[in-house]
Structure 1
């Protein structure tokens, strides 16, 4: 009832899982990951106990295959389980019990494992693997996971239909400060969950992405005038102000929009400018 990809980025500083299913909130059930340790997905008749136990084994130095073998060996219902694991070194292993509902199966390669059950056919997993291998290793891991998930969805995905999709990525540097979570997005119940997940990832990247120093624009001249005007239209500023005051008022607006991570005093990130032009004081603030 689920298809997933478990993977690491090229330098093994991030690990993640992307899942889609005709099942409510599978993203709350299937994935587990820890920075510096690895990631796994438990599905079919998911055994959520695999998550804590699996991460503990990986943390203790077990390989992906050793973890899969140990978790399934003493599980009396292992024949209805499905499991994918990637360890800290990018080694991978996938397991599909003999009693999982057709089509069920998986593939594993360097730094990734893909598996699914109750699928439209083997083509779902094959095209997910093709999309993963065809993606640019320099891209963010979340984007590569989404590409694979999208390929599976396009190929028919869960044979029963669509309901949920999720991406969970951890890394050496998390998004929220002191946490290893880089991306944690879930679409729990939606008619087109993978497309909605892509939209949410775009918002996440806008809010939490870091500005590219090569793309920063000096906040002066006509650009500063435009920013003053846009902020003024939304009641944040009035008339001509100093550069320091413009930075301050822009920061107030950016705080409302959750764009603080993209601010650089005296400069402007094109992403911030685009959002200011598009939505001003409204939009995605939470």
Structure 2
């Protein structure tokens, strides 16, 4: 199984109620493997990525468990827990992270104000703190732009020491589900400059979104 050596960030906008995440990786199609959103929760499952594990957490939350309890329960029964890296955010501002000790070095995660960032196979750990700082410093901007700026910072310092191939951005507005088309769900699955291409696609999306408003 391919490990998703990745740097990523999840966050929420307390004003609009939006949640979302952005990720970049040297692996193919990081968006399909890593970023998962359901109802009021976003989960990034990376390194040994598992959409199934993310779904199991969603199921527990839908049955009334807190995000913290759901994550703890799933990890407690996971035989690959030491190879998992997971970050999670909810619209209730639950911000959680787990990084297993068998993730590829360097690895790190950090909980910030309304965001969580994490990475593995990093060139250096400091990039995760810097991504959080960038997100926090741009609090007047839209959630999607703040997430993109954080990922761009990772790209700027060559965060993934193995290189680059894919990037993704996904936003959900639980308060306005019928207007799902107003939230970006963008993927660059294979590109020489995936983050730059993701930003270009977001610009196209923004132009179209404004025409729909």
Same fold (TM over 0.5): yes
User: Which residue in the other structure is 2:23 paired with?
Assistant: 19
Relative to structure 2, which stretch is displaced further, 54-63 or 152-161?
Answer: 54-63
SS of 2:183's equivalent in the other structure is strand
SS of 1:46's equivalent in the other structure is coil
Contact 2:87 2:118 in 1 (8 A): yes
Contact 1:58 1:88 in 2 (8 A): no
User: Which residue in the other structure is 1:161 paired with?
Assistant: 163
Q: Which has the larger radius of gyration?
A: 1
User: Which residue in the other structure is 1:173 paired with?
Assistant: 176
Mapped pair 1:106 → 2:109: yes
Segments of structure 1 that go 5 or more residues without pairing to the other structure are 210-258, 263-286
- Once the two structures are TM-superposed, the CA of residue 66 in structure 1 deviates from its matched residue by 2.0
Contact 2:18 2:91 in 1 (8 A): no
Deviation above 6 Å: which 4+ runs of structure 1? Answer: none
Q: Which has the higher contact order (CA 8 A, sep 6+)?
A: 2
Relative to structure 2, which stretch is displaced further, 68-77 or 199-208?
Answer: 68-77
Distance in 2 (alpha carbons) for counterparts of 1:106 and 1:160 = 19
Distance in 1 (alpha carbons) for counterparts of 2:100 and 2:118 = 11
Matches within 5 A, 1:8-87: 8-11=12-15, 13-35=17-39, 37-87=40-90
Mapped pair 1:119 → 2:122: yes
CA RMSD of aligned residues (A): 1.8
- Once the two structures are TM-superposed, the CA of residue 53 in structure 1 deviates from its matched residue by 1.6
Distance in 2 (alpha carbons) for counterparts of 1:25 and 1:105 = 22
Contact 1:169 1:181 in 2 (8 A): no
TM-score by length of structure 1 reads 0.69
SS of 1:29's equivalent in the other structure is helix
Distance in 2 (alpha carbons) for counterparts of 1:149 and 1:193 = 11
